[in-house]
Structure 1
Amino acid sequence: MTTTTATTTNTPVITSDAFLKNWQAHRGLSRRVLAAFPEKDLFEFSIGGMRTYNHLAGEMLGLASAGMNGIVTGKWETSPALDHFNDNVHLSTKAEILEAWDEVTEQIDVLWPQIPAERFSETEAAFGQYPNTIINTLQYLFDNEIHHRGQGYVYLRALGIEPPAFWDRF
């Protein structure tokens, strides 16, 4: 009987640049899903008590912006003030949401290079309440967006709209 011993190395599975490129490709697809919504349905259509897609997009915007700010500066707040938890900020048109999406996408590109390599393995309480490593917090932001984009696919199909191909992230 032959047994093998697994060895581990410190070689990263994915580089920081590759992670960013993958996240931004997913953000591009999420933007196309957002753009596919008719204006009225973006703010009014819901299934089974789920939030409307403008609220889901607001959550994605707030988490990405505040998440990147927190990771880089330690201040877990949005910039500009896009936080979906803030009742004083309302994006009331699809154009405003798409513009905010583009601002946050640019913000991610500006802030990402400011994350030192060692920061990814540090533990911090994201948003002051969720202790985890920075890489796991980033993965949560990524996963949350994919989850809500999936809800957008369901909404679009229920509205009779063919959503963008889920595999087309480029």
Structure 2
Amino acid sequence: MSKNESKTAIQEVITPAELLKHWQGHRSLTRRVIEAFPEKEFFNHSIGGMRTFAEMTLELLAIAGPGLKEIVTKETQALNEHIDHKDQKNLVLKLWDQATEEIDTYFNQITPDSFQDTIKTFGQYEGTVISSILYFIDNEIHHRGQGYVYLRDLGIEPPFFWER
């Protein structure tokens, strides 16, 4: 299959607008998982040596918006998970909402014919535009699953995963 045929096949399966809507559905669900955590446990609870859900959330914040910005502007930046949140969950939620808007802004600047372009995000992760975006989504789902385990360990019913 040629590069152009590959692009056409992907567009027949899902449009860029549908992909963005799918991703934003996941982000909405992850936001509800963040909200479900009590303040103290969001920053302190972990199981088996894993990071806290706050630390995982900071990773997600460091990847999605900045990664898309890098894809669009082609300005390489280092991955930076050190985001000042002042140990306040409401500030993390505000940062989450800002990143969600940033995703909308930059995603809508990606042209359909560039999804198969080879890129290197954060100066080190090589792939295509679409494989990078799918990684951003998959990584969020993975960490949200860890958040579900934490919530259940705390005796808190997590949001239904299918309600995106």
Fold-level match, TM-score > 0.5? yes
Count matched residues: 156
What is the CA distance between 1:83 and its match in structure 2?
A: 3.5
Q: Percent identity?
A: 49
Deviation at 1:95, TM superposition (A): 0.4
Residues in 2 aligned to 1:145 and 1:70: alpha-carbon distance in whole angstroms: 18
| 1:151 and 2:128 matched | no
So what's the TM-score if we normalise by structure 1? 0.87
Q: Which moved more, 1:99-108 or 1:66-75?
A: 66-75
- Separation (CA, whole Å) in 2 of partners of 1:47 and 1:71: 35
Q: Is the 8 A contact 1:61 1:101 kept in 2?
A: yes
- Alignment RMSD, CA only? 1.7
Matched, 1:103 2:98: yes
Partner of 1:83: 80
Structure 2 letter corresponding to 1:90: D
> What 5-or-longer segments of structure 2 have no aligned partner?
none
Q: Distance in 2 between matches of 1:64 and 1:70?
A: 10
Q: Is the 8 A contact 1:56 1:148 kept in 2?
A: yes
Distance, in Å, in 2 between the alignment partners of 1:52 and 1:76 is 28
Instruction: Name 1:36's counterpart in structure 2.
Output: 36
What is the rounded CA distance, in whole Å, between the counterparts of 1:34 and 1:28 in structure 2?
Answer: 10
- 2:123 aligned with 1:128: yes
Give the CA deviation at 1:76.
4.0
Secondary structure of the residue aligned to 1:114 is coil
Tell me if the contact between 2:77 and 2:123 (Cα under 8 Å) persists in the aligned partners. Answer: no
Cα offset, 1:75, TM superposition: 2.2
Query: SS of the counterpart of 2:115?
Result: helix
Q: 1:52 to 1:66 in 2, by over 3 A?
A: same
The answer to whether 1:54 aligns with 2:48 is no
Structure number with greater Rg is 1
Report Cα offsets for 1:90-118 as digits up to 9, x if no partner: 21210000000000001111111111112
Where does structure 1 differ by over 4 angstroms across 4 or more consecutive aligned residues?
none
- For 2:59 and 2:50, how far apart are their aligned partners in 1? 13
TM-score, scaled relative to structure 2: 0.90
Identify the residue that residue 4 of structure 1 maps to in structure 2. none
Aligned to 1:45: 45
Give the Cα separation in 1 of the matches to 2:156 and 2:92.
Answer: 20
